[in-house]
Structure 1
Amino acid sequence: MKLRDVEARVAVLQREIAELKEAVDSHREMDRALGVLVAVAQVPPGRAWEMLRDISVHTHIELRRVAFLLTQWGYTRILPPQVEAELERQLRARRERQARGGSAGGDRRVG
Structure 2
Amino acid sequence: MMEELERLRVENRQLRQARASHAVVDQAIGVLTVLGQLPPCDGFTVLREVSQHTNIKLAQVVEQALKHGQGAALPDVVLGELHAALARQAASRPV
Q: TM-score range by the shorter chain?
A: 0.7 to 0.9
TM-score by length of structure 1 reads: 0.72
Q: 1:78 offset after TM fit, Å? A: 1.7
Residue aligning to 1:83: 78
Identity of matched residues, %: 34
Residue number among 54, 70, 82 corresponding to 1:59 in the alignment: 54
Contiguous gaps of at least 5 residues in structure 2: none
Q: What CA RMSD, in Å, does the superposition of the two structures yield over aligned residues?
A: 2.2
Change (3 A) 1:107 1:27: farther
* Kept in 2: contact 1:46–1:105 (CA 8 A): no
The higher radius of gyration belongs to 1
Residue aligning to 2:43: 48
Contiguous gaps of at least 5 residues in structure 1: 1-5, 98-102
Q: Name the structure where helix makes up a greater proportion of residues.
A: 2
TM-score by length of structure 2 reads: 0.82
Residue aligning to 1:68: 63
